[in-house]
Amino acid sequence: MSAIPNPLKITYKVPKRRHPALAFIIQQPLGAAGLAVIILMILAAIFARWVAPYDPLDVDYANLLAAPSLEHPLGTDNFGRDVLSRVIHGSQTALAVGFLSSLIGSSIGAMIGVASAYFGGRTDMIIQRLMDVILAFPIIVLALAVVSVLGKNVVFGIDWNLIIAIGLPMVPKVARVVRSSALAIREMPYIDAARTAGFSHLRIILRHIVPNIVAPYLIMLTAFVGQAILLEASLSFLGLGVTEPTPAWGLMLSGSAIDFYQQAPWMIVFPGVAISLAVFAFNLFGDSLRDWLDPRIKL
Amino acid sequence: MLRYISQRLLMMIPTLLGVAILVFLMLRMMGGDPVEVMLRGEGANVSQEIIEAERVRLGLDQPVPVQFAKWLGGMMTGDFGVSMWTGKPVAQEIASRLQLSLQVAVMATILAVLIAIPLGTLSALYKDSWIDHLVRVISIAGLAVPSFWLGMIIILTLLTLFHWHPPVMFTPFFENPRENLSQLIWPALAVGYRYSAVATRMMRSTLLEVLQEDYIRTARAKGVFERLVVIRHALRNALLPVVTVVGLEFAFLIGGLVVTEQVFNLNGIGKLFVEAVSRSDFTMVQALVLLVASFFIIINFVIDLLYAWLDPRIRYR
Amino acid sequence: MKLRYAALAFALTAVAGPALAQSPKSGGTLSFAVSAEPPNYDCHAQSSFAFIHPVRPHYSTLLKFDGPNYPQVTGDLAESWTISPDGLTFTFKLRKGVKFHDGSAFTSEDIRATYDRLRNPSEGVRSLRVESYRDIASIETPDAHTVVFKLSKPNASMLANFASPWDCVYSAAKLKEDPKFPERNILGTGPFTFVEHQAGSHWVGRKFNDYFEPGKPYLDGYRSVFMRGAAMVNALSAGQVLAEFRGHSPADRDRLVQALGDRAVVLESPWVCSLVVSFNTSKKPFDDARVRRALSLAIDRWAGAEALQRIALVRHVGGVLRPGYELATGNDDLAKLPGFSRDIKASREEARRLLKEAGVEKLNFKLTNRNVAMPYTPVGVFLIDQWRQIGLNVEHEQLETRLYLAAQQRGNPTYDAALDFNCDFMDEPNLQLMKYVSADRSALNYSGHTDRKLDNLFDQQSGELDKAKRKAIVAEFEKHLLEEAYVIPTIWWHRIIVLHKELKGWDMMPSHYVGQDLTNVWLDR
């Protein structure tokens, strides 16, 4: 027997493995743009002192409510403080609060969700009820309550109670999503097998369940940074977040800004644009991340 | 089905109770005393005896569990208590303002739905085209822009371009519909933009999912006219999650009106809430929070029911 | 003959002409803005201007301030009065034919019931004026139109006290039925009757046709619209409301003048309102007078007033009494007192020396302030800056009213230093000095100090009917206070009112609590 006549030569091309980052940029241009803005913001926040033309706390009684000019590209506020510098420094608060509250809120939510799914039964029901209670509270009320009860607790220049206040509303939402993902694994027979084999709870959780929830966790994490920034802005607007004279975008929009908005519209336009841009970038990035990692997840 | 309903109803009670306890405790831990604010807030020369007497009158000298029991008992019999600031019944104070807030919420919802359904559909049908990108960008912007800032920008624009001034007094709908709508359209817009963004995104993603389903492929293969396919089959199935999200967002909205009402100077429950908190008017804040939470819980319940009715698998779990 | 009549007619018109041009017109409804709302309707239990502005026009008082001649008082319900030479007996002759809004007749019994309620409230009734009327021993009503007040000791403030806007005269009959009647109901003898109050929105009053001053009020009615901050300025700019009777910041005034042009009328006057810093004497190191005095010395009040008057509604440098009031210390004498020196360098050096001596050279503390923009925020920022000049690092803590009050709680104050206000309805040492008297005597004392010397001086000046002597005693009080510096006056407010020029007949006075009965106000349309 000879070989098959005219065997077809099949050439199989192994696709070159691109660096995942590059792949992301190419496949999700919008997301990449969002990421670029985020990186820019982070840089501005870190190097604020060098980037900003003036000291954000510098009161200048001679130049109150000055319109945007070469000297003050975004104008000055009712204390004569340079708006551009305040916006740049404001990014520090926004990012710090945004990242930290989202990180803490999502992580706690994830842990609760996993525990709820894994242990099931009574534990699950109690935890779910607790989550329902927190969820039923209007977000502003919740944040207001936490801030009011705990007061201000500033360590390393960051108000941790504000971070708890903003992170808290996220916990039940993350818990819910993580729980449903974890449940899917929980039902698998090999979990029971592992238990029978004598593996500890912790090991099972870490080994089998956690890898499955990393995707939704990361997605919610980035999505909630945007929401955290918005919530911080709302709270500062209501006077519950950071207080004068800290430059924070939400704070720049409250109080005196409203009083002066006819005379000096630049006082409210630019901080608002900053907030919108930041949240926009985070949302774009978060969306694209989700599309890239796992388009099936509905949030 | 009945079992499912009663089960869900039963679960509402501990949740509501939890909210009541939490808000009650939070207020008392929040610092601030309604009597001090009322009598000393404006710098009056008031002796300590008068302050103590007032505290006793409001029942604030009792231990916290007793106060809670009294309040809860009152709530169950329909007595929502008396405002610690004005002395008028809480129900009366809320009722007079609820109409306005509800109207803004409803108008925002209508706006949101009117925008979301067509835009979301178009976006899904023409996926990855320029329409899709445009709609997606607009939606994400809607999620990014703080609604109170949008409100300020709207007012500023109207002021500079049309010399329009926000009216100083609210005209009820039945008195003068045109005046009323022209007053409330702007806050509805400020709030509705974000609302429509959420709904649009949901519409788009669910429609996309539904369009992948097998029965759609079958319908297309059968040669059914494309438009019919979409409208008849896809949309109907995609609408359910959208309705869910609209319902949930409505509940969130009621709670989120606080900030918008400040900007537009509307005499609604959001403004009432902010004032009540600043005056430490415990009874008012408790009543308002419970009201909003109940709203949220009831809407959730209705949505759950809707799902159970439409999807038999859930009922029999 | 004809010529004579013509000449007479001509002469009459020549005289009457200018008067006719300014003769008030009847009619119209006045809309004005108020930035807060009254919680209930009882004058005796209120202390906020938010109450006075919408509610005052419904009531009358025994006396009231004579607008253009402030601080002279004139009769409202009283037609005339005499004071005995020893100052212990006040006899008032009341107007005849005065009616309440429900038609019942007003008699001296109503005055007696009102003042009894003020000085000795029954169970469940709140009166914030008990202190002011402590010196009244008895009230007699010999007939339906005479009332006699007998004092237990001379009190220099008593006559002006009767012009207090808070002493609304209630119906004795209604009070007998229910002492708490005024909390929920409005029944007065004032120029306007109550129409409606929509909580959170507005308050409406209508002309009382049987008002005891014939031809008045000129207005058909008024409407107070409740709104705050920017909304108010916008509404004024647009002409939706014609006035706001508390006071505007300089920036708002400029904005309004720009928007209204020649339709704006700007009225300015010093205000019986000051900002003071009180120190928590129960907390170290504020129990040391040297530290407190040092902090007072560090403040350059004169330069501060100059700078702050452009952005805030403060302007005048003064001590315990309003600069400009006849009993207040003049600027030259003021400059000799600690903290008011024109030589700020020397003052600050002294301050540093005192702090060193007390052992707290690098003092760090918190300035607790209200969360209100005008004028608390700018003055707070200013003070922090002043203390920075002597090397201190002070944190500015702005709190909501309820938390601010909680920090100052008399049983257990937690604050370090607090920026507080001291406002009254008239210039009167008995009112203004109450802030500085010992804690067991004054509920306004938040610093917790006890100083019998101040108490004695206070009582002395209260009983001193001779103005010159009283001024000297007050000056002594002021000097001792500034040396001990428990509570230090910093700067006095400046009242700026912008009215629509249509609004006439309203008199500007140094207090936003008085002159709000709207009897003489008319609209020039």
List, as one string, the DSSP characters of C175-227: HHH-TTHHHH----SSSEEEEEEETTTEEEEEE-TT-SSTT---SSEEEEEE-
Res A22: pLDDT = 78
Find residue C197's DSSP bridge partners. C203
Residues C58 and C182 in one domain: yes
Of the candidates A226, A262, A275, the beta carbon closest to that of B149 is on A275
C19: pLDDT strictly greater than 50 = no
Residues C213 and C276 in one domain: no
Residues C287 and C170 in one domain: no
Res A259: pLDDT = 66
CATH number of the domain within which C366 lies: 3.10.105.10
Res B244: pLDDT = 78
Res C6: pLDDT = 44
Q: Which residue of C40, C41, C47 is the best one to mutate when testing the B interface, meaning the one whose CB has the most B CBs within 10 A? A: C47
C134 touches chain B (CB under 8 A): no
B149 touches chain A (CB under 8 A): yes
Token reading at C333 = 């004498």
Of the candidates C230, C310, C397, the beta carbon closest to that of A259 is on C230
Among A152-166, B107-121, B161-175, B256-270, the range scoring the smallest mean pLDDT is A152-166
Q: Is B18:B24 a contact under the CB 8 Å cutoff?
A: no
For residue C285, say if its preceding peptide bond is cis, omega within 30 degrees of 0. yes
> Radius of gyration (Cα) for chain C, nearest Å?
25
Are residues A79 and C311, on separate chains, in Cβ contact within 8 Å? yes
For the whole model, what pTM was predicted? Answer: 0.82
Residues C230 and C368 in one domain: no
For residue A295, say if its preceding peptide bond is cis, omega within 30 degrees of 0. no
Residue ranges in chain A assigned as alpha helix (H): 20-27, 29-46, 48-51, 83-119, 121-136, 139-150, 160-167, 170-186, 189-197, 201-204, 210-238, 249-253, 256-260, 266-293
Q: Is B211:B168 a contact under the CB 8 Å cutoff?
A: no
Q: What is the mean pLDDT of residues B182-201?
A: 89
Residue C294: C-alpha distances to residues A185, C7, C336, C338, C481 (Å)? 70, 75, 16, 9, 14
For residue C71, say if its preceding peptide bond is cis, omega within 30 degrees of 0. yes
- What residues have CB less than 8 Å from B53, skipping those under 6 apart? none
Q: Is C203:C186 a contact under the CB 8 Å cutoff?
A: no
Domain-embedded: residue C454: yes
Res C11: pLDDT = 45
* Residue recorded with tokens 């909390």: C183
Domain-embedded: residue C263: no
Domain extent, residue C110, equals 2-242+502-523
Res C8: pLDDT = 46
Res. C105 pLDDT band, cuts 50 70 90: very high
Are residues B30 and A234, on separate chains, in Cβ contact within 8 Å? no
Domain-embedded: residue C264: no
Closest by Cα among A218, A216, A253, A221 to A234? A253
ipTM computed for the complex: 0.78
How many percent of chain B have pLDDT more than 70? 93
Are residues B292 and A138, on separate chains, in Cβ contact within 8 Å? yes
C370 touches chain A (CB under 8 A): no
Res. B227 pLDDT band, cuts 50 70 90: low
Pick from A53-67, B156-170, C207-221 the range whose average pLDDT is largest: C207-221
Residues C334 and C367 in one domain: yes
Residues from chain A contacting residue B262 (CB–CB below 8 Å):
237-238
C233 touches chain A (CB under 8 A): yes
Residues C484 and C517 in one domain: no
B231: pLDDT strictly greater than 80 = no
C234 touches chain B (CB under 8 A): yes
Q: Which residue of A77, A154, A244, A267 is the best one to mutate when testing the C interface, meaning the one whose CB has the most C CBs within 10 A? A: A244
Are residues B87 and C39, on separate chains, in Cβ contact within 8 Å? yes
Q: What is the mean pLDDT of residues B204-215?
A: 78
* Minimum Cα–Cα distance from A252: chain B residue: B149
Residue B254: C-alpha distances to residues A11, A131, A185, B181, C364 (Å)? 63, 20, 37, 19, 44
Query: How many residue contacts between B and C have a Cβ separation below 8 Å?
Result: 106
Which chains border C (3 or more CB–CB pairs < 8 Å)?
A, B
C317 touches chain A (CB under 8 A): no
Token reading at C433 = 């000095």
Residues C402 and C469 in one domain: yes
Are residues C381 and A65, on separate chains, in Cβ contact within 8 Å? no
Of the candidates A61, A239, A260, the beta carbon closest to that of C310 is on A61
Q: Under DSSP, is residue C29 helix (H, G, I), strand (E, B) or coil? A: strand
A289 touches chain B (CB under 8 A): no
Among B66-70, C10-14, C24-28, C45-49, the range scoring the smallest mean pLDDT is C10-14
CATH number of the domain within which C145 lies: 3.40.190.10
**Percent of chain B that is helix, strand, coil (3-state, to 5):** 80, 0, 20
C282 touches chain A (CB under 8 A): no
Residues C465 and C514 in one domain: no
The pLDDT tens digits of the residues spanning C412-466 come to: 888 999 999 998 888 999 999 999 999 888 888 899 999 999 999 999 999 888 9
Domain-embedded: residue C251: no
Residues C330 and C479 in one domain: yes
Q: Which residue has the higher pLDDT, A124 or B128?
A: A124
Residues C113 and C234 in one domain: yes
Q: What is the mean pLDDT of residues A43-51?
A: 86
Residue B159: C-alpha distances to residues A224, A261, B155, B165, C215 (Å)? 34, 11, 6, 6, 41
Domain-embedded: residue C516: yes
Q: What is the mean pLDDT of residues C373-396?
A: 88
Of the candidates C47, C400, C403, the beta carbon closest to that of B44 is on C47
Q: What is the 3-state secondary structure (H, E, C) of B10-69?
A: HHHHHHHHHHHHHHHHHHHHCCCCHHHHHHHCCCCCCCHHHHHHHHHHCCCCCCHHHHHH
Which stretches does DSSP call E strand in C313-432? 314-316, 364-370, 393-399, 417-423
Q: What is the mean pLDDT of residues B169-180?
A: 81
Residues from chain C contacting residue A64 (CB–CB below 8 Å):
310-311
Q: What are the boundaries of each domain within chain B?
A: 2-84, 91-310
CATH 3.90.1170.20 is held by the domain B91-310:
no
Res. B225 pLDDT band, cuts 50 70 90: low
In degrees, to the nearest 5, what angle opens at C-alpha C194 toward C-alphas C499 and C109? 110
Q: Which residue has the higher pLDDT, B104 or A201?
A: B104
Domain-embedded: residue C253: no
Mean pLDDT of chain C, nearest integer: 89
Query: What does the alpha-carbon distance between residue A182 and residue A185 come to, in Å, rounded to a whole number?
Result: 5
DSSP H or E segment with residue A13: none
Closest by Cα among B126, B285, B309 to B211? B126
Domain-embedded: residue C250: no
Residues C228 and C275 in one domain: no
The domain tally of chain C equals 2
The pLDDT tens digits of the residues spanning B131-141 come to: 888 898 898 88
Domain-embedded: residue C386: yes
